[in-house]
Structure 1
């Protein structure tokens, strides 16, 4: 069993209260680590350290190229320790080791991208309309950043926040999910090894109620970034209004996957499975709403059900496993409840809908991949983010109907369009009210392109140049090159 600590002001520390939390493997509920259970006292200490490091330290004033080199060093260390990080992620979250290795490689690329971007924006000279003057616009670091990350992609989501915040010259307090903190602890060790000054990066562990809420409320924090659910996002946004701090929120989605009659049938079928059942559906951009044209609906559903029944559940360390467990017993019960709701609402359960019977899976939080047909947009299972291996299928007849159905949600994170008619694909993509639209693909993302949503899917963007800009403030500097008295008074 691993014994871990928090990282505050350059020191590895226990919780001030002495309280600890046990971390378990969702595959078999075995204990894998003991970590500090921080509270308000620890959070205040971390905020003070970050505040002092920003206001009095060297970090924000060192050359941007120097900061960039440190961020690039972190990328190198992550690449060095990919296997260890991936194994920790699989232990902690239950996802397959293949998925975890891919995540770690993507994480290294995020740090590499922002390390390279750190010194690329030297400001902008603008044409002043006033004679004998010069004017420029520069970007400066926001200040102290509170960063709250989710349990489904523990280190990936943390990297989207840490890397740009460091590159821009901010200091920060990272608060990972209390149930999946291990890889964030490890990468904090790598940040220390890279030579980032003390106080710049602080790691607080504990519940959202006792740590995350204080980060959102504190007048000493200048920005709060949160990835998670709508209700928590709403609380954070309300708390952040106390000092009008910058807010960046990614709050999930109910993402439509639209398959037209002229789509490449086999590819769209294969991708529909991946869209919803990857990582047991615990993905904010999961294609949990499948919209299929009437002309191919029955055949598509028949093949989809057949393939879904063949998905192999198991340990993330088994090379033959295609899907791991859900994250916790509480989450398992939530997914079970959504199945009961779907049945009550009149949807047709085609496969799954229950815990698996295999003896070797009984100790874990497993749930069978589930498909509902005969769904419509009035149903809760169509409208609400189930965040599990549940697929709802709706029919459509026309392009206009497909767009209407796809947009009929409070969310607007992502969606996909499948068709061999590129003009139709581009028309539909243009009509979808979502932050990301894939054409003839599902799930790809990369460091160079922005990620975020419309509507209730959140505020702001991560990744891309826009992800760096979230961690900056814009300043206009005006210089009068020939000052003289005005003689107004």
Structure 2
């Protein structure tokens, strides 16, 4: 059945209409064998201008602006149902687009359906406030949509990232322009098809894959765009924030990570190793929250590391359509080259390759963009491999002796996205978690998510939060009302 799934056509979704983009071509390649998926004409500056103009009209239209929250929610429920009906098709397209395993892309599609369903429920149950009056008047605090917002999403988990931005933005009453990454444009276009079939009013959504220097920059600087929500690299996020500051526009930035994972001597070893392997090597390490720095208490360091190395070498690297595959190919040859440069530099920094560190050879491996899961030891904390986000299946390991030194070393990094702590002592875990500068702390688990729980980073890992009930208000602005109840003339007028 999977071989019969057609890739999205060479058409963009511009203001609710399907047509060919006027920008440079974007080619999607299957990372497992580098075969051609599809070529799409990207968006041009003129396409962006048209999408913004249609978004303004749609956001201001009475047919959308005056909808009651439960009426807006009905569209999100329909979108959720459409995603659920198309999970097989979505997962296949995303696997072809990104190289992720079918098991992972199915989970991401199901997550996207759940995200739309959750924000539909939040939308129709959200409450506004009558605030305590301090005079003869009634005071109200109300929330209104921003108008036109832009969502810029990464290539590693597009369907889930798209949903985490589109669902709350639409639920809040906005029009949205989505720019997916050029390496993975297809599943976002498939999502546009599903949303279109759900009957969302024309103009409220555009999907514009294209150059960051053209599409992204124009979305950030255009005066009609009221907010940008960006997930991606820290360098791009900083540049975006500087441009947004010029127009005093709010932004949400979910950026890079170099997350520490901490193992105490009392941890359940098998549970811990399973969690560490999943935290760094699932998604082939292409995850902002990957647990890429491992700190193990010195009393168990050597036997723990021996077991971890053996388990890492036993991981199944293979084709993303094979059900037994645990580590699939990286998304693109250029990205693999980048990861390999980090490994080469770690060698020059006197690091020891304890596992992996090279491309698997022979058979299908020679056709695809594969890289072995890699563990590196004996590097100084200041080495590049320990400080920069590799975004690949690469783990650095360190022993630690005491909590103070551990906390200092774990925090000695510009990033602050996530942290994992493994111990049977929950009180200790909470104490360490409070000391670690990270937006998410997992205790005896890793990479678990709930759409109802806010997510975001500290330091160079970003600003703002997605998910949770407050994720709706991140796409709204607050307005206060005062309603006089006295009927009296104001004494200042002297009338």
Q: TM-score with structure 2 length normalisation?
A: 0.96
8 Å Cα contact 1:376/1:394 also seen in 2 = no
Q: Which moved more, 1:468-477 or 1:168-177?
A: 468-477
Equivalent position SS for 1:58:
helix
Question: In structure 2, what is the Cα distance between the partners aligned to 1:37 and 1:273?
Answer: 37
Alignment of 1:71 with 2:76, yes or no, is yes
1:240 alignment counterpart: 244
1:229 alignment counterpart: 233
1:8 alignment counterpart: 14
Among candidates 321, 333, 343, match of residue 329 of structure 1: 333
Question: In structure 2, what is the Cα distance between the partners aligned to 1:358 and 1:440?
Answer: 37
Equivalent position SS for 2:149:
strand
1:320 alignment counterpart: 324
1:38 alignment counterpart: 43
Among candidates 26, 30, 36, match of residue 25 of structure 1: 30
Matches within 5 A, 1:273-284: 273-284=277-288
Question: In structure 2, what is the Cα distance between the partners aligned to 1:312 and 1:358?
Answer: 15
2:207 alignment counterpart: 203
Question: In structure 2, what is the Cα distance between the partners aligned to 1:135 and 1:51?
Answer: 30
Matches within 5 A, 1:39-438: 39-130=44-135, 132-438=136-442
8 Å Cα contact 1:28/1:363 also seen in 2 = yes
Q: CA deviation at 1:349?
A: 1.2
8 Å Cα contact 2:58/2:175 also seen in 1 = yes
Question: In structure 2, what is the Cα distance between the partners aligned to 1:16 and 1:106?
Answer: 33
Question: In structure 2, what is the Cα distance between the partners aligned to 1:77 and 1:450?
Answer: 25
Question: In structure 1, what is the Cα distance between the partners aligned to 2:120 and 2:379?
Answer: 46
Q: Deviations over 1:226-276 (max 9, x none)?
A: 100011111111121232111000002111110000000111011111110
Q: CA deviation at 1:314?
A: 1.5
8 Å Cα contact 2:377/2:398 also seen in 1 = yes
Q: CA deviation at 1:206?
A: 0.8
Question: In structure 1, what is the Cα distance between the partners aligned to 2:490 and 2:103?
Answer: 70
Q: CA deviation at 1:80?
A: 0.6
Question: In structure 2, what is the Cα distance between the partners aligned to 1:267 and 1:342?
Answer: 29
8 Å Cα contact 1:219/1:242 also seen in 2 = no
Q: Which moved more, 1:308-317 or 1:225-234?
A: 308-317
Q: Which moved more, 1:1-10 or 1:286-295?
A: 1-10
Equivalent position SS for 1:314:
coil
Equivalent position SS for 2:246:
coil
2:3 alignment counterpart: none
Q: Which moved more, 1:46-55 or 1:87-96?
A: 46-55
8 Å Cα contact 2:329/2:369 also seen in 1 = yes
8 Å Cα contact 1:24/1:30 also seen in 2 = yes
Equivalent position SS for 1:174:
strand
8 Å Cα contact 1:332/1:367 also seen in 2 = yes
Question: In structure 2, what is the Cα distance between the partners aligned to 1:122 and 1:302?
Answer: 54
Question: May I ask how many residue pairs the two structures share in their alignment?
Answer: 487
Q: Deviations over 1:50-69 (max 9, x none)?
A: 11111235223211101111
8 Å Cα contact 1:449/1:464 also seen in 2 = yes
Q: CA deviation at 1:135?
A: 0.7
8 Å Cα contact 2:455/2:467 also seen in 1 = yes
8 Å Cα contact 1:149/1:176 also seen in 2 = yes
1:458 alignment counterpart: 462
The alignment's C-alpha RMSD in Å is 1.2
Q: CA deviation at 1:458?
A: 0.5
Q: CA deviation at 1:301?
A: 0.9
Q: Which moved more, 1:7-16 or 1:445-454?
A: 7-16
Q: Which moved more, 1:238-247 or 1:458-467?
A: 238-247
